[in-house]
Structure 1
Amino acid sequence: MFTGIVTEVGKVLAIADKGDRHVTISCAMDPARIAMGASIACSGVCLTVVDKGGKAGDAWFAVDVSAETISRTAPAQWEAGAALNLEPALRLGDELGGHIVTGHVDAVGEVVSVTPEGGSLRIRVATPRALAPYIATKGSITVDGVSLTVNQVEDQADGTCHFGLNIIPHTAQVTTLGLLEAGRKVNLEIDVLARYLQRMQSLAAQG
């Protein structure tokens, strides 16, 4: 379980083919505090630590990424040199600063536009049709592992939707969201409460 509050930005150092894709990622965490088998969200994807090394402030960890995971997530994050938003799994007693995030990507969206507005960035993202019913104004959504509030929803004629986000300067600086540009693919995870509410409404309609 995660909160969508990114603790740092890491970088893909190396990729090796070991059946699954073996990805080594830089981080500033203390490797002594990273447990083997621990979960770390990498741009919104919950992955399991299979190796680690380095020292606090200059460390690395490795994960194995299946073909299934790669097929369902933004492709650019699985390239050497890619920047990744990192968040260790929530621990009992930690502050829930964002919203409840599972680290399971629901779909890949596409950035439609990025517009400077004051010191912030106004970003519009296109979502697949299947996700449109779960996105609501003032609701929560996770974009590349970052917990955000939806500012605006624009339903499209084909059943998809575009939603708007306001990225404040701090968020742009401490995550990869400040690097987004039109056409970029992003990992989306809808709010877990929205998922259950939509399911209940669907069952009620059938009954």
Structure 2
Amino acid sequence: MFTGLVEARGTLARRSPASGGARLFVEAPLSPLVLGESIATDGVCLTVEALGPGGFYATASAETLERTTLGGKALGAPVNLERALAVGARLGGHLVGGHVDGVGRVAASRAEGGGTRVSFTYPRPLARFIAEKGSIAVNGVSLTVNGVEDTSFHVVLVPHTAASTAWTLEVGTLVNLEVDVLARYVARALSVASAEPPERIASDEAWLTTLGRAGYL
């Protein structure tokens, strides 16, 4: 798991075909780098398979290349890097799994109140997971959703975030999106609940009422 707080900016230095996917070399100013550890790279969880001068090697599967920006990202492009959350560390952002849910695009970008307001389009299936004031990871960066429209949402990047992370805010730039895992679980729970037989729903409601009267809710 990750927090969406970027530790460093790296570079996608090399990408070569390997086992149906690709072998990546990422220049990473992180120390120490440990074999087998997970590093979120623009929001994609990669496993350190080998170390090289100033970076690490990792394998991206064909599915990862297809469902994220790593397959088409230009060599030499900057990437956001974060090592996995350590037990006992502060959770300054939100829980991020490193499992990209879809690819969005930069729709607009403009200065606003000392920061930068950025709008992103998103794949329609993600609509029910994106809510105003909720969290979302964009290229591995934990951000607060400031507003949601039918086909897009917008955030405001504070100067520190804009300066300390790897951003290309040109309209049309592709970005990796990961919705908040809590939103996903809530959506799943509601989906299952709606499919329950009426007598089961009534029973659950009665049980919740009893707990409430007893002061547990």
TM-score after normalising by structure 1: 0.90
Q: Does 1:22 align with 2:12?
A: no
User: What's the offset of the Cα at 1:89?
Assistant: 0.6
Alpha-carbon distance between aligned partners in 1 of 2:27 and 2:164, rounded to the nearest angstrom? 15
What are the within-5 Å matches in structure 2 for residues 124-163 of structure 1? 124-155=119-150, 161-163=151-153
Richer in strand (by share): 1
Identity of aligned residues (%): 47
User: What's the offset of the Cα at 1:78?
Assistant: 3.8
What are the within-5 Å matches in structure 2 for residues 100-119 of structure 1? 100-119=95-114
Match of 2:3 in 1: 3
Label 1:108 to 1:69 Cα distance change in 2 as closer, same or farther (>3 A): same
Query: What do you get for the CA RMSD once the two structures are aligned?
Result: 1.3
What are the within-5 Å matches in structure 2 for residues 1-207 of structure 1? 1-19=1-19, 20-30=21-31, 33-54=32-53, 59-75=54-70, 78-155=73-150, 161-177=151-167, 179-207=168-196
Kept after mapping to 2: 8 A contact 1:10/1:26:
yes
What secondary structure does 1:91 align onto? coil
Alpha-carbon distance between aligned partners in 2 of 1:121 and 1:17, rounded to the nearest angstrom? 37
Alpha-carbon distance between aligned partners in 2 of 1:50 and 1:79, rounded to the nearest angstrom? 22
TM-score after normalising by structure 2: 0.86
- Any stretches of 5+ residues in structure 2 without a counterpart? 197-217
Label 1:201 to 1:194 Cα distance change in 2 as closer, same or farther (>3 A): same
User: What's the offset of the Cα at 1:18?
Assistant: 2.5
Alpha-carbon distance between aligned partners in 1 of 2:128 and 2:97, rounded to the nearest angstrom? 19
User: What's the offset of the Cα at 1:76?
Assistant: 6.6
Q: CA offsets, 1:14-50, max 9 Å, x none?
A: 22223231111111112xx322111000000000001
Kept after mapping to 1: 8 A contact 2:65/2:71:
no
Kept after mapping to 2: 8 A contact 1:111/1:185:
yes
Alpha-carbon distance between aligned partners in 1 of 2:71 and 2:189, rounded to the nearest angstrom? 35
- Highest Rg: 1 or 2? 2
Instruction: Number of aligned residue pairs: give it.
Output: 195
